[in-house]
Amino acid sequence: FLLLNEGRLVNHFNRVERERWIVGLSKSHSSWINEKLKSRFGISLFVPEDMSAYKEETDFFWGSNNANRGRTDILVYSFPYTAQEAFTEDYLVAMRDSVVRRNVPGSFPNSYMKTEKRFELSYEPITYRGEYRGVLRGLWRMEGDKMGGPFVSHAHLDEKNQRVVVAETFVYAPGTKKAKLLRRGEASLYTFCMD
């Protein structure tokens, strides 16, 4: 039974763990980041309370726990919805690279974040609580710097405002396991709600 249902069992445990994190976030989260996202994007998103640093621009928000070990960050950005192709892997990666190049610098001059394309990315359209989302998973790296790690992003259609709102988490934790950190960040993405 275990061998025949290995994938289903792993998915079940991951889903249960994610729901446990979501319950915890609903009780204890960064209310000031949630308020900033409500006023800037008209969304609600519960992120861990330890996210104390942020950067914001017109259609961009970056929150981070700035931890020395096990750093977890959240990005939220939006762009106009002009065609259904906005919910394809290629389009979302191109938009992601455009946004993070402008807004997520590295430690050195002219260094910036980009999507790592030497390894396969994963794109999956899902429905969660009746809402369609495009889920993109992959690796990021800093061009001109020696940083990188995993990321997960959820793209949402805001029909009312004819835009796509993307919420993303990424992890930087060199030399340590990243799965738990990424799952915790991803649980935040599942709390996303349009106001």
Residue 58 scores a pLDDT above 90: no
Return the pLDDT at 2. 81
Residue 37 scores a pLDDT above 90: yes
| Beta bridge partner(s), residue 80 | 163
Residue 29 scores a pLDDT above 90: yes
Out of 8-22, 116-130, 165-179, pick the least confident: 8-22
- 1-5, 17-21, 157-161 — which one is most confidently predicted on average? 157-161
Residue 18 scores a pLDDT above 90: no
**Burial class of residue 13 (count of CB atoms within 10 Å of its CB; 0-12, 13-18, 19+):** exposed
**pLDDT, average across residues 154-173:** 96
**pLDDT, average across residues 86-105:** 96
Q: pTM value?
A: 0.91
Return the pLDDT at 15. 86
